Amino acid sequence: MAEKRIVLLLGGNIGVPQDTFEQAEKVINTRVGVVLARSRDHWSPPWGFSDERLFLNRALVLRSGLSASEVLNVCLRIETDLGRVRPADGTVVARPIDIDILAVEGHVIQENALLVPHPRLEQRRFALAPMADIWPSWRHPVTGLTVLELLDNLPA
């Protein structure tokens, strides 16, 4: 596949997320693609479950020749290597790291468990705000809205 820009979102609320993200970014840089930009760090409450610990979120833009499925597989491996354990029943829990593929330049992908752009991107300030730091002109390929417009559409 030709090289394209990919946006990943790193999130975590166990341990020292900044340190975990640095480790993840090194592996991403060598196994997925060259990191072109990183957002500032954004703190947010957990989304979809209750936990007293805030989440740290950071977006990365990288250039990669891997397919979205290959990127997903590498990211899942990185999560496991850095201590993420997924409950067998699928419940959402606190975790040291979560890596989501938010967008793949110019593509809408629907393959098995992989949906890109992320299917709940428009609802998630914690994903849109970091993405706006590094690629504010990105347009959602389905809605046509920029990241900044998507952020403006969220309730305060």
One DSSP character per residue, 136-156 reads TT-B-TTT--BHHHHHHHS--
Per-residue pLDDT, 89:
73
**Class assignment of domain 4-153?**
alpha beta
Q: Is the pLDDT of residue 149 over 90?
A: yes
Of the ranges 90-99, 113-122, 128-137, 139-148, which one carries the lowest mean pLDDT score?
A: 90-99
Per-residue pLDDT, 101:
96
Q: Is the pLDDT of residue 34 over 70?
A: yes
Per-residue pLDDT, 29:
97
pLDDT band for 83, please (50, 70, 90 cuts): confident
On whether the CB atoms of residues 142 and 125 are closer than 8 A, the answer is no
What is the tens place of the pLDDT at every residue in 51-71? 778 999 999 999 999 999 999
Q: Is the pLDDT of residue 1 over 70?
A: no
Q: Is the pLDDT of residue 75 over 80?
A: yes
CA 80 to centroid of chain Cα atoms: 16
Per-residue pLDDT, 8:
98
Closest CA to 5 of 68, 64, 74: 64
> What global pTM score does this model have?
0.93
Average pLDDT for 125-135: 97
